[in-house]
Amino acid sequence: MKADEGIVARRYARALMLFGDEHGNHEGLLEQLGTLADTLVQVPVMESVFHSPLLSKKQKSELLDGLKGTLKMGDAMVSFVNVLIQKGRTEYIGAIRLTFERLLDEKKGRVRGTVETASAVNPIQQREILLALSKRFGKEVIPEFEVNEDLLAGVRARVGNTLLDSSLRGKLDELREQLKSLSE
C-alpha cells in the first residue's frame, strides 16, 4: 500500500460519486469499476500494460477503448479511466473501487459484513440471518457468507467494527474465561 493511496482513492472516488449524483446510476458505475478492477487482478498482463511506463498514455487509452465492449464499460466509465490514465493513476483503480463502494454504501444506508457458520447454510437461513443483522444494525446489511468449521455450531458475524458471536466455539471460549477468572 502506497502512502498516498487513501488520499488518491478518496479524491477520485468522490469525483465519481459527484458524477453519479448528477447523472444517476451509482450502482452501474460501481459494477463497471469493479469489473475493471477484478479484470486487472485476474489478468496480470493487462495490469502490467496499464501500469507500464513503456506504453504511452495514448496507447493505454486506445487499449481501453478496445476493451470497453468486452468489459461492458459505458462512456462515462471510459472517460473516468482515461482521466486516471492521463494522470498516471491507474494503479489506484482497486483502491478507488473500494472507497467508492464505501461511499455508496454510506449514501444508501447500508453496511457490509462477514457471516461465518460452522456449515453451509441454505438460502432461507441466509435470509433469516440477513434480516436479523439488518434489524440489529438498523441498516441494510450486505453479508458475505463463509464456512468456518472451527466454530463447531452457530454463527459469528462481523459488521463494521462489531463482532457478534453466537457460535459454540465462542460460548466455550467465554466459559473458559469465566472459569479462569474464578480460579484466580
Per-residue model confidence as pLDDT tens digits over 49-65: 888 888 899 999 998 89
Q: How confident is the model at residue 110 (pLDDT cuts 50, 70, 90)?
A: confident
pTM of the shown model: 0.73
Q: Which residue has the higher pLDDT, 79 or 179?
A: 79
| pLDDT surpasses 70 at 171 | no
Q: What pLDDT does 164 receive?
A: 80
Sequence ranges of the domains in the chain: 5-106, 110-183
Is residue 33 within 8 A of residue 16, CB to CB? The reply is yes
pLDDT at 12: 94
Q: How do 110-117 and 140-147 pair as beta strands?
A: parallel
Does the domain made of 5-106 have the CATH classification 1.20.1250.30? Answer: no
How much is the mean pLDDT over the chain?
86
Q: How far is the CA of 9 from the CAs of 18, 24, 37, 54, 129, in angstroms? A: 14, 21, 13, 24, 33
pLDDT value for 111: 87
- Going by pLDDT thresholds of 50, 70 and 90, the confidence category of residue 2 is low
Write down the H helix ranges in the chain.
5-23, 26-42, 44-51, 57-67, 75-86, 93-108, 123-137, 168-183
pLDDT of res. 3 = 63
